[in-house]
Amino acid sequence: MSKFKESALTKGAPGLNTASLPDIVFMLLFFFMVVTKLRDTELKVSVKTPEASQLTKLENKSLVNFIYIGRPTVKYEAVYGTKPRIQLGDKFADMNEIPLFLEKHRASVPENQVSQVTSSLRIDGDVTMGIVGDIKTALRKANQLKINYSAKPIQKKD
């Protein structure tokens, strides 16, 4: 009995086994790789979407194109002013570039899924409806009728 105690004392606490640490970290890594998407576009306009309750999730990311509307960020204010602008892909665009943008995206989609293509409109809450109405008209003219007004779930205020 006394011998057993002594040996435990001299050995001290055994080191923590960290052999499974890489596995745990890899698991975390894969989780983040799956739930997030690479920041492929740098936002040049500031977009703070409003809150809404009737939200639908956008399925199948490859069938979605994004149109951003908002005021240019501070970095681009000097060149592009403070009026709301459209961003398609990673650059500022004009209203008349929308059909080409949509057509380019459609070309990358399998033909039988073209009808399911959705436009996600990420619009800043402070923008007035003038530019939004013009975009809607442009989308209708380009026969892109499925749209999704991007919004955040309503946060409970307490």
Partner 1 sequence: MLKKKKAHRMSSEINAGSMADIAFLLLIFFLVTTQISEDKGLLVKLPPWSTEPPPDFKANSRNLYSVLVNAQNQLLVRGNPMDIEMLKENTKLFISNPRQESDKSTSPQEAIVSLKNDRGTKYSTYLRVYNELQAAYAELRNELALKKHAKEFEFLSDSQKKEIREAIPLIISEAEPTAFGEEK
CB of 139 to partner 1, least distance (A): 6
CB of 10 to partner 1, least distance (A): 25
Q: Which is nearer to partner 1, 1 or 35 (CB)?
A: 35
- Alpha-carbon distance of 142 to 106, in angstroms, equals 11
Q: Which is nearer to partner 1, 2 or 53 (CB)?
A: 53
Contact 86, 136 (CB under 8 A): no
Residue 98: CB atoms within 10 A of its CB come to 22
Q: Is the dihedral of CA 40, 44, 49, 55 positive or negative?
A: negative
Q: Which is nearer to partner 1, 10 or 143 (CB)?
A: 143
Residue 106: CB atoms within 10 A of its CB come to 17
CB of 119 to partner 1, least distance (A): 9
Greatest distance between any 2 Cα atoms in the chain? 90
CA distances from 68 to 2, 93, 96, 112, 154 (A): 75, 10, 15, 27, 21
Q: Which is nearer to partner 1, 45 or 139 (CB)?
A: 139
Point out which residues pair with 61 in neighbouring strands.
Answer: none
Binding interface with partner 1 (CB under 8 A)? 18-19, 21-22, 25-26, 28-29, 32-33, 35-39, 49-50, 52-58, 61, 64, 118, 120-121, 123-133, 136-137, 139-141, 143-153
Q: Which is nearer to partner 1, 5 or 130 (CB)?
A: 130
CB of 33 to partner 1, least distance (A): 6
